[in-house]
Structure 1
Amino acid sequence: MLRTAAAAILGVTVLASASMAQDYRLNPIYQTISLRGGFTPDPYVINLQSGGNNDASRTLGGSCRGWVATAPDVRLHFQAGSLPLIISANSSTDTTLVVNGPDGRWYCNDDGGNGLNPSLRWNSPMSGQYDIWIGTYGSSRNANAQLHISELYSQ
């Protein structure tokens, strides 16, 4: 579902400082992908396990939520085009999203997508490296989840 710019930024926290618990310098747990504007298939979907041992509300603060791993789950190298970039998750459990963007800032969301799914949207995305963590809200237990990367849809 496409969202308006106002709805897209509602519930998003942007933090300028890096966190020691979430380390974007580590190799991702699942995979590194490279996409450029206009990619297909859209959405690009990755099956993974959400969760980890780090409480993002303590390590990043603001409105960041969920238990995440130390290493990113996925690393996205993105060459922006004219469309938005939407990173979201889909799970039967309550998940959260933490992204370290190409500008070095931390972007977080909880429940910005459909139901209890998180979603982040950049209307004018930056080209560069996006390190992505899918968290599990309220508990460090892992849960089945899907990461969706899209220029058209949010989960």
Structure 2
Amino acid sequence: MGIQFRTLRHVPFTLVTTLLLITATIPSRAQVSGGERIFENLRMGLFSPPTVTLRGVSGGAIPLRGFVERDSTDTGLCAGFIDTQPDHLLTLDQFFDFLSLEILSPEDTTLLVQGPGGSWCNDDYAGQNPAILGAWLPGTYQIWVGSYRQDRYHPYLLRISRDPDAPDLRESETDQLPNN
């Protein structure tokens, strides 16, 4: 006794259409209630926009310092708490002479980036907001946005810019944060 397969010509057209519509409406990323996407990944190359802003929610239970097994990197302190999985993946198709990752949050956040060439941490680059700036190799980077205090979760904006003259993120932009 074997499994029998039927062809689609025996399935009513409305059933196939309904299944396709249901599948097409399932979001591929987490969304906040206003429909804004959070925890997105990004690929950047020569023709990418010079500045991109992503959204997310910081925090976790794992000490960042223990996760990277060091107290600091050349870019700053490894402080705060993160989740096991990165919040974002950033894939760079080419070398960037300058790239900045800046966080804006109403609460104290921290930043960890792991990718080609190593790991980089930062805490309190601008007030309570972290950032990492410099030259970046091509490849995929994992980005964690942590909270300074364990099991505290805060909305944030992550601005990734290849423009060294881009203005800093401003506190007035916190109205763009999810769940704010």
Same fold (TM over 0.5): yes
State the partner residue of 2:52. Answer: 44
Question: Gaps spanning 5+ residues in structure 2: where?
Answer: 1-37, 73-77, 170-180
Amino acid at match of 1:49: V
Taking the TM superposition and a 5 Å limit, the aligned residue runs for 1:2-151 are: 30-37=39-46, 39-40=48-49, 42-60=50-68, 61-63=70-72, 64-81=78-95, 83-103=97-117, 105-112=118-125, 114-122=126-134, 124-151=135-162
Distance 2:66 2:91 in 1: 28
Mapped contact 2:40–2:55 kept (Cα < 8 A): no
Q: Partners in 2 of 1:101 and 1:88 — Cα distance?
A: 17
Task: Name stretches of at least 5 consecutive residues in structure 1 with no aligned partner.
Answer: 1-28
1:94-115 alpha-carbon deviations (Å, 9 max, x no partner) = 1100000222x11100012x21
Partner amino acid for 1:79? D
Kindly indicate whether the alpha-carbon contact (under 8 Å) linking 2:122 and 2:131 is maintained by their aligned counterparts in 1: yes
CA RMSD of aligned residues (A): 1.8
Indicate the residue corresponding to 2:30 in structure 1: none
C-alpha displacement at 1:83, in angstroms? 3.9
Partners of 1:140 and 1:116 in 2: CA distance: 17
TM-fit CA distance, 1:68: 0.6
Name the % identity.
Answer: 30
Contact residue 79 and residue 128 of structure 1 kept, 8 A: yes
Q: TM-score, normalised by structure 2?
A: 0.62
Residue 21 of structure 2 corresponds to which residue in structure 1? none
Bigger fraction of residues in strand: 1
Relative distance call for 1:82 and 1:55 in structure 2 (3 A) is closer
Q: Which structure carries more relative contact order (alpha carbon 8 Å, separation 6+)? A: 1
Cα 1:136–1:49 shift into 2, 3 Å: same
CA contact (8 A) 2:96 2:137 kept: no
The verdict on how the C-alpha distance between 1:85 and 1:38 changes in structure 2, with shifts beyond 3 A counting, is farther
Max radius of gyration: which structure?
A: 2
Count of aligned pairs between the two proteins: 123
> Offset of 1:59 from its aligned partner?
2.3
Please, which moves more after superposition, 145-154 or 124-133? Answer: 145-154
